[in-house]
Amino acid sequence: MLDIIQDTLIDSLKMLPFLLISYIIIEYIEHKKSSKINFILSSSGKYGSVIGAILGCLPQCGFSVTASSLYSGRVITLGTLIAVFIATSDEAIPVLIANPSSFANMLKIIIVKLVLAIVIGIVIDILLSHRHKNSIETSIGNAEEHIHKMCSHCDCEHGILKSALRHTISIFIYIMIVSFVLNVIIHIIGQDRLSTILLSGSIFQPLVAAVIGMIPNCAASVLLTELYVSGQLSFASIIAGLSTGAGIGMVVLFRENKNIKENIAILGITYCIGAISGIIIEIISSIF
């Protein structure tokens, strides 16, 4: 057990400088550019899915919250909302950046999710082209108010460095806990049994990963990323899990959009897209 604790601590500490640098950059963008980015998203028009997918690639789930609020006011289309959800990877990107050996894989993940988000978003908008939008100004104000409420617990308004340090420490603790639990599980039940539980080597593993990704908490993206880095999840499965991982954006959607049936449908669509895409990638990988 002492060896497990020591290995977990050493591995986690190696990631700390990379995490801090990542969050300083992220906080700078959120502090200095968030209003402009929100306006771009809300006024993106027929290019909404493309713009939404690109913005969704930015780490954390702030823009999925924005997208949920804007969609609730019918400022953006359903295709744009789904594009943001698919492109969002929550805390996965900072965790992958903190593992320099995973940098190439991180780029592959971002590119695949970006392309998937754009294609799916455009298809959905074409199918639902008859839907109309409401006033932009009102919904932008609502969106910024929601983001303010969601971020009120993390001192986001007290400076870039303080916010970056707070996020770094929070995710560092998540990483240590997740890594420790995974190491203990592997030690107790063995790597082979864990692989069986996660359906490793099966084309159906993305189904499991997609369920984990839907947990509305950054711990889900950290868990998926740690499983992927440790070799327990395939590339197809990390795509599936992170494609369904919209963070608290889905929670905001259920809170702000009064059409519960529509919310459930969006939840189901997001899961199906992530799971099916993962299975398709898994099949293609096995062929080539």
- Chain centroid offset of residue 251 CA: 13
pLDDT for residue 143 is more than 80: no
Average confidence (pLDDT) over 153-181: 76
Q: Beta-carbon neighbour count of residue 129 at 10 Å?
A: 10
Residue owning tokens 């494609």 = 243
pLDDT value of residue 61: 62
Query: What pLDDT, on a 0 to 100 scale, did the predictor assign at position 228?
Result: 92
178-202: b (≥16 Cβ within 10 Å) or e: bbbebbeebeeeeeeebbeebbbeb
Residue 148 backbone phi and psi in degrees, to 5: -60, -45
Amino acid making up residue 130: H
Integer Cα distance of 209 and 194 in angstroms: 14
Q: How confident is the model at residue 108 (pLDDT cuts 50, 70, 90)?
A: very high
Residue 286 has pLDDT above 50, yes or no: yes
H/E stretch holding 286 reads helix 260-287
pTM of the model: 0.76
What is the chain's mean pLDDT, rounded?
Answer: 80
Residue 228 CB burial class (10 angstroms; 0-12, 13-18, ≥19): buried
151 vs 131: CA distance, rounded Å? 31
**Where do we find the tokens 């932008």?**
140
8-12, 86-90, 143-147, 218-222: which range is least confident on average?
Answer: 143-147
